[in-house]
Amino acid sequence: MTGSLVGADETLFRIVEAMAETGPMGVTEVANRLELTKSTAHRHLQTMAAHGYAVNEDGTYRLSHQWFHVGTTVKSRQPFYLASRSALKTLAERTGSTAWCAIEERGKLMFVDGAGANPTHNPDLLLGDWSSITQTAAGKAILAHLTEDRVAEIVGQKAADERYAAADLRTELEYVRSRGYAINQGEDISGIYAIGMPVVVAGEVFGSLSVASPTDDLVTEDREPVLDALSAAVDRVAKNLSG
């Protein structure tokens, strides 16, 4: 696979990732950080600017909002996101917690939508970021309904969280399957507790819905009201996807 990659494209993506992590960068900074010649760094930055993917501000380059446009376009074509929007808002209102819509891709978990106004768990803070698939209720709910081969593939990747031994994870996923939902108690983000359920239609796992709260009442007290709300939301989304 590596032999078929295009070196220039690899360099370009390294520059994009560096700028996304660091912020605006000059030619020298890009060259030094990525061990490139200044001429190579300059050519790539100029190419990005010429195509509208970077903005040159007095010799310092930043990523443009063209990336936002691309991301929004990808999101708007995601069937699970579209099918979940209204159900997610209702879920947040019924539970009084932050509600999430998450997908798995390349062995990682991404929250693609969120609803709720909890100031300690603002949905905007996590949307679009990659999260642990083995430490989140949303991720474990998805994993529990993938094939054993796919789970083994994901756990074997660096994207999977190494705190789980394969046997421990397998046991937990069996438990998730048997009860129909997954929980996390601060494993992913300290002080945040969550319950998640998968959305499965005709054997295909589209993603998961989850609710999260900064109090452990969500997972330690009577869960039935939250589980009922989650189940209703999942059924609604599954119906939207089936229609």
pLDDT of 160 reads 45
| Structure-block tokens of residue 18 | 């560096």
pLDDT at 210 over 90: yes
Domain coordinates in residue numbering, the chain: 2-69, 78-242
Q: What percent of the chain has pLDDT over 70?
A: 87
pLDDT of 158 reads 45
3 state DSSP class of 209: strand
3 state DSSP class of 102: strand
**Average pLDDT value for the chain:** 88
**In degrees rounded to 5, what are phi and psi of residue 105?**
-150, 130
pLDDT at 217 over 80: no
Compare 118 and 24 and report the one with higher pLDDT: 24
Q: Which residue has the tokens 């040159």?
A: 56
Half-sphere exposure of 42 (CA within 13 A, CB side): 5
pLDDT at 74 over 80: yes
Sheet containing 98-105: order of strands: 130-131, 108-115, 98-105, 204-213, 193-201, 182-185
Compare 231 and 132 and report the one with higher pLDDT: 231
Half-sphere exposure of 177 (CA within 13 A, CB side): 13
Q: Is 2-69 a domain of CATH 3.30.420.40? A: no
pLDDT at 1 over 80: no
The pLDDT of 46-72, averaged and rounded, is 96
pLDDT of 125 reads 60
Q: Is 78-242 a domain of CATH 3.40.50.20? A: no
Say if CB 194 and CB 135 are below 8 A apart. Answer: no
pLDDT of 159 reads 42
User: pLDDT-derived band of residue 69, with 50, 70 and 90 as boundaries?
Assistant: very high
Half-sphere exposure of 164 (CA within 13 A, CB side): 26
pLDDT of 185 reads 78
Say if CB 198 and CB 176 are below 8 A apart. Answer: no
The one-letter code for the residue type at 29 is E
The DSSP code for 25 is E
pLDDT of 118 reads 59
Q: What percent of the chain has pLDDT over 90?
A: 66
- Torsion, Cα 152 155 156 158, to 10 degrees, reads 160
